[in-house]
Structure 1
Amino acid sequence: HPFDSSKWGRVCRFLILDGVLEKNRIVEPLEATENDLLVVHSESYLNSLKSKCLHYRREMFMDLLRIHHNTSYQISHQVLVDVGHIYCIFILHTKILDNLIFFDLQIPPVALLPNCLAQKKILHPFRKQVGGTILAAKLAKERGWAINVGGGFHHCCAQKGGGFCAYADISLCIHYSFTRLNISRVMIIDLDAHQGNGHEQDFSNDRRVYILDMYNPGIYPFDYEARRFIDQKVEVVSRTTTNDYLAKLDEALQVHPHKLSSCPIFIFL
């Protein structure tokens, strides 16, 4: 689907114009440095994002393609780049052998851009958003709550990216909370339609992190291994009404009220 890199700024502008948000309430974060990112990512992974070899970066994300074993395929792509927008359009051509397969492709656009353009238009803004997630945690500890308009890259884990997520800002934020903010427990409430398989993999054996994930099991990423690490699964199918969705969420939040009260910090996605 389209990847719109300007949506976060438009959200802030809309809220300011509507009188909901004051400009002096907005704090610009610092860009996450390589040393920051090395807290969760390996040097080889970060170097792979800088790679000038298009083929290598594309191969790094090929695990997102679930190709039927007897279907040959090729991918043609068109990348439209503008100052404020980046859209990726993927066209999948399949040669039918036994049946026709439709794919929901979610390949990060960084895999298809020249390195210099990827750094300027995608990875630099992503690193700023990672910095925003860390800053939001710090401000939430100081003032009770904070919102990072960007970030929430819940498909990225320490070892690999996926689904438009190049950096594991959630994992980095949690590490920061444990080591710098004197936080002992964290609860992730992931309300994105897609399963948050990145943070689920990173904290699979960490009992300090409680994960409530409300997602549609019929769409990307189909990470059945990571689903084993969700403490509380709320599966919601397509075309669920708003009222039904909110009722399911309210019910989920009542299942373990002691879990809620024991967590000093919450991460909503």
Structure 2
Amino acid sequence: MPFIYSPRYYADIGYHVFPITKYRLVYEKLKNEARIPDKEFYEPEPATEAELSLVHTREYLDDLKNCRWTPRTYYSELPISSEIIELFILAAGGTILAGRLALQFNWAVHLCGGFHHAFADKAEGFCYINDLAVAVRVLQKEGLVKRVAIIDCDLHQGNGTAVIFQNDPSVFTFSIHQRDLYPIKEKSDLDIHLPNGVTDEEYLEHLRNHLPGIFQKFKPEIVLYQAGADPYLEDQLGSLKLTIEGLKQRDTYIFNLCKQNHVPVAVTLGGGYAFNTDDTVQIHYNTCILAREIFS
């Protein structure tokens, strides 16, 4: 029963809206409340330079390695330090591991990852390395899969992921997100642009109307699922109105869809900026528990 976590999923980012402690808090909640045993947690190794280079340009990786402020790193909206860059490289290794374990166990949840705003050649939106894209390219290069679907249910469009895989018929990108919000929208294979105020049932209806067709027509061999906590009605950065129960229904629907279609799923926990960090942690915890229950 694979969860991917490292105690190194922390870096000093100063006073920031991004709740960097959430990774540890979700891990502790799984250990203390759900009594998940140690054997179900896997610790990743950092992605290698060769793996990162499958997606990111040499110039950009050099900027990260040397912690340089350049036009390529400027829009990260994060500080830049070796500690922070190491966290992102480790998270990329975690999503690679999640993909490999999902192919073995039919599912895996990475307690970090989902940094979908990073482009091949630049940072954006709290994201330095696009771990989703790196994992896809590693799995493909190793011959483990050919066709990959990325189902992105974050509050924000996965703009970096969309651009990286544009015109690539081997990767299907789906993003359901708030329309009138960062980022400037790129073109995914299928985008659902939601107006402000969308609630549980309308959101779930969009999933029911659009996701089955991806499985039927594209026939992915693995799904990478970005299970963002930020569509939540108490999120600081958004104006969608999903409840915690509605987000559980979202996860349940997607996990069951993967299971019914016999498609492994690797989950990243993505964004979450609730006014009360405990709510973000609860949403992520629910995702983990639902995956374990549905696939067990």
- Per the normalisation by structure 1, the TM-score is 0.73
Give the percent of matched residue pairs that are identical in Structure 1 and Structure 2.
31
Q: Which amino acid aligns with 1:29?
A: P
Cα distance in 1 for partners of 2:157, 2:77 equals 16
Cα distance in 1 for partners of 2:92, 2:129 equals 7
Equivalent of 2:121 in 156, 159, 179:
159
User: Is 1:108 equivalent to 2:82 in the alignment?
Assistant: no
Q: Which amino acid aligns with 2:220?
A: C
Q: Structure 1 residue 257: deviation in Å?
A: 4.3
Cα distance in 1 for partners of 2:209, 2:37 equals 34
Q: 2:89 maps to which residue?
A: 127
Q: For 2:176, what is the secondary structure of its paired residue? A: strand
Q: 1:24 maps to which residue?
A: 39
Q: Structure 1 residue 222: deviation in Å?
A: 1.3
User: Contact conserved, 1:141 with 1:181, CA < 8 A, in 2?
Assistant: no
Q: Which amino acid aligns with 1:265?
A: I
CA RMSD of aligned residues (A): 1.9
Q: Report the number of matched residues.
A: 211
Q: Relative contact order (C-alpha < 8 Å, sep 6+): which is higher?
A: 2
Cα distance in 2 for partners of 1:4, 1:239 equals 24
Q: Structure 1 residue 44: deviation in Å?
A: 1.2
Q: Structure 1 residue 119: deviation in Å?
A: 0.9
Q: Structure 1 residue 181: deviation in Å?
A: 4.0
Contiguous gaps of at least 5 residues in structure 1: 65-106
Q: 1:268 maps to which residue?
A: 225
User: Is 1:191 equivalent to 2:149 in the alignment?
Assistant: no
For residues 131-188 of structure 1, give each alpha carbon's deviation from its aligned partner in whole angstroms, at most 9, with x where no partner exists: 0000011111111111111111111121111111101211111111111143110111
Q: For 1:109, what is the secondary structure of its paired residue? A: coil
Q: For 2:138, what is the secondary structure of its paired residue? A: helix
Cα distance in 2 for partners of 1:222, 1:20 equals 42
For residues 78-125 of structure 1, give each alpha carbon's deviation from its aligned partner in whole angstroms, at most 9, with x where no partner exists: xxxxxxxxxxxxxxxxxxxxxxxxxxxxx4313xx4xxxx112x1111
User: Contact conserved, 1:157 with 1:171, CA < 8 A, in 2?
Assistant: no
Q: 1:233 maps to which residue?
A: 191
> Rg bigger for which structure?
1
- Per the normalisation by structure 2, the TM-score is 0.66
User: Contact conserved, 1:152 with 1:169, CA < 8 A, in 2?
Assistant: yes
